[in-house]
Amino acid sequence: MNGSGEKTYTTINLGPTHPATHGVFQNILKLDGEEIISAEQTIGYIHRAFEKIAEHRPYYQITTLTDRMNYCSAPINNLGYLMAVEKLLGIKTPKRVDYMRIILMELARITDHLICNSVIGVDSGALTGFVYVFQERELVYEIYEEVSGARLTTNMGRIGGFERDFTPAAISKIRLFLSRLPKVLKEFEKLLMRNRIFMDRTIGVGGISAERALNYGFTGPNLRAAGVDFDVRAMNPYSSYDDFDFEIPLGTQGDTYDRFCVRQEEVWQSLKLVRNALDNLPEGNFFADVPQYYLPKKEDVYSKMEALIWHFKIVMGEIEVPKGEIYHSVEGANGELGFYIVSEGGRMPYRLHFRRPCFIYYQALPEMITGGVLSDAILTMSSMNVIAGELDG
Partner 1 sequence: METTKKTYTRVDPPEGVAGAGYFATTLDRVIGLARKNSIWPLPFATSCCGIEFMATMGAHYDLARFGSERLSFSPRQADLLMVMGTIAKKMGPVVQQVYVQMAEPRWVIAVGACAASGGIFDTYSVLQGIDRVVPVDVYVPGCPPRPEQIIDGFMRVQDLAATESLRRRYSEEYKALLRSYGIFTTDQQDTM
Partner 2 sequence: MTDQPLTDLLRNRFAAGILVVENTSDMTTVTVSKEIIHDVIMYLHESPETGFGFLTTLCGIHYPDQPLPFGVIYHLHNMEKNIRIRVKTFLPADNLHIPTVTDLFSGANWMERETYDFYGILFDGHPNLIRILNVEYLDYFPMRKEYPLEDPTREDKDNRFFGR
The amino acid at residue 181 is L
| Shortest Cβ 354–partner 2 spacing (Å) | 9
* Residue 272 sits in the site that holds partner 2 (CB under 8 A): no
Using the contact rule CB under 8 A, the part of the chain among 66-74, 141-149, 270-278, 323-331 near partner 2 is 323-331
Q: Which does 152 bind (CB under 5 to 8 A by kind): partner 2, partner 1, none?
A: partner 1
Using the contact rule CB under 8 A, the part of the chain among 92-100, 113-121, 183-191, 230-238 near partner 2 is 230-238
Q: Which does 325 bind (CB under 5 to 8 A by kind): partner 2, partner 1, none?
A: partner 2
| Shortest Cβ 189–partner 2 spacing (Å) | 31
* Residue 209 sits in the site that holds partner 2 (CB under 8 A): no
| Shortest Cβ 108–partner 1 spacing (Å) | 13
Contact residues for partner 1 (CB under 8 A)?
A: 16-19, 23-24, 44-49, 52-53, 64-65, 67-68, 71-72, 115, 131, 134-135, 137-138, 141, 151-153, 388-389, 392
Of 336, 372, 379, 390, the one binding partner 2 (CB under 8 A) is 336
338-372 burial: b if 16+ Cβ within 10 Å, else e: bbbbbbeeebbbeebbbbbbbbbbbebbbebbeeb
| Shortest Cβ 49–partner 1 spacing (Å) | 4
| Closest of 76, 151, 103, 72 to residue 339, by C-alpha | 76
| Closest of 170, 177, 143 to residue 275, by C-alpha | 177
In the 3-class helix/strand/coil scheme, how is the chain assigned residue by residue? CCCCCCCCCEEEEECCCCCCCCCCCEEEEEEECCEEEEEEEECCCCCCCHHHHHCCCCHHHCHHHHHCCCHHHHHHHHHHHHHHHHHHHCCCCCHHHHHHHHHHHHHHHHHHHHHHHHHHHHHCCCCHHHHHHHHHHHHHHHHHHHHHCCCCCCCCCECCECCCCCCHHHHHHHHHHHHHHHHHHHHHHHHHCCCHHHHHHHCCCCCCCHHHHHHHCCCCHHHHHCCCCCCHHHHCCCCCHHHCCCCCCCCCCCCHHHHHHHHHHHHHHHHHHHHHHHHCCCCCCCECCCCCCCCCCHHHHHHCHHHHHHHHHHHHCCCCCCCEEEEEEEECCCCEEEEEEEECCCCCCCEEEEECHHHHHHHHHHHHHCCCEHHHHHHHHHHCCCCHHHHHC
* Residue 43 sits in the site that holds partner 2 (CB under 8 A): yes
* Residue 53 sits in the site that holds partner 2 (CB under 8 A): yes
Q: Which does 16 bind (CB under 5 to 8 A by kind): partner 2, partner 1, none?
A: partner 1
Neighbouring-strand partners of residue 352: 341
| Shortest Cβ 330–partner 2 spacing (Å) | 13
Region 97-126 residues binding partner 2, contact defined as CB under 8 A: none
* Residue 47 sits in the site that holds partner 2 (CB under 8 A): yes
| Closest of 252, 246, 293, 305 to residue 273, by C-alpha | 246
Total of chain residues touching partner 2, rule CB under 8 A: 42
Q: Which does 176 bind (CB under 5 to 8 A by kind): partner 2, partner 1, none?
A: none
| Shortest Cβ 309–partner 1 spacing (Å) | 30
| Shortest Cβ 370–partner 1 spacing (Å) | 26
- Cβ closer to partner 1: 53 or 197? 53
- Cβ closer to partner 1: 100 or 115? 115
| Shortest Cβ 139–partner 1 spacing (Å) | 10
Q: Which does 72 bind (CB under 5 to 8 A by kind): partner 2, partner 1, none?
A: partner 1
Of 25, 81, 216, 287, the one binding partner 2 (CB under 8 A) is 216
| Shortest Cβ 364–partner 2 spacing (Å) | 8
Question: Footprint of partner 2 on this chain (CB under 8 A)?
Answer: 43-44, 47, 49, 51-53, 55-56, 87, 90, 212, 214-218, 228, 230, 235-236, 324-329, 336, 338, 340, 342, 351, 353, 355, 359-364, 392-393
